[in-house]
Amino acid sequence: MGLLVVIDTFLVYKIAELRYNNNRTAALIASILFAVTPFTWIIRRVWLESIQLFFLLCSILSALYSKKSLSYEIEDKSEKKHGKNKDQNKRYNLFVLLSGIFVGLAIFTKIPVFTMILLVGFLIHTNNNSN
């Protein structure tokens, strides 16, 4: 469980860094607050919540990486007309699939996390640049 706590703190750092446009200060503050919050001390026991939190954070990180996969610059002018190229579509679909797999594993760990499907769906929907 100690290893999961370290990984969870790193995942919170990466999520905050991606969400706030590579702002490392905000990410460091978020991860420190996550590490020292008394509520997380309760989760760090040998319970299912620590495993559930790991899968949920992986799902959120994958959803945020799906946005990053769409934000690469398209160099070919013919591909600019069509929007995203095939490589971007594959990368985007891979991250959306990974996000769904991780939220599914979190739901299988403990049922109440099904309410987070809305959060992950919102992140994926807002990250999609198509109209």
Residue 131 DSSP SS3: coil
Instruction: Mark the ranges of the chain whose per-residue pLDDT is less than 70.
Output: 40, 42-46, 71-84, 129-131
Q: What is the pLDDT of residue 83?
A: 54
Write out pLDDT tens, residues 70-82: 765 444 444 555 5
Residue 1 has what DSSP assignment? -
> Beta strands of 9-130 (E only): which ranges?
none
Q: What is the pLDDT of residue 130?
A: 58
What is the chain's alpha carbon radius of gyration, rounded to the nearest angstrom?
16
Q: What is the pLDDT of residue 127?
A: 77
Total structural domains in the chain?
Answer: 1
Q: Is 21 left (phi over 0), alpha (psi -120 to 50) or beta?
A: left
Q: What is the pLDDT of residue 82?
A: 53
Q: What is the pLDDT of residue 74?
A: 44
Q: What is the pLDDT of residue 44?
A: 65
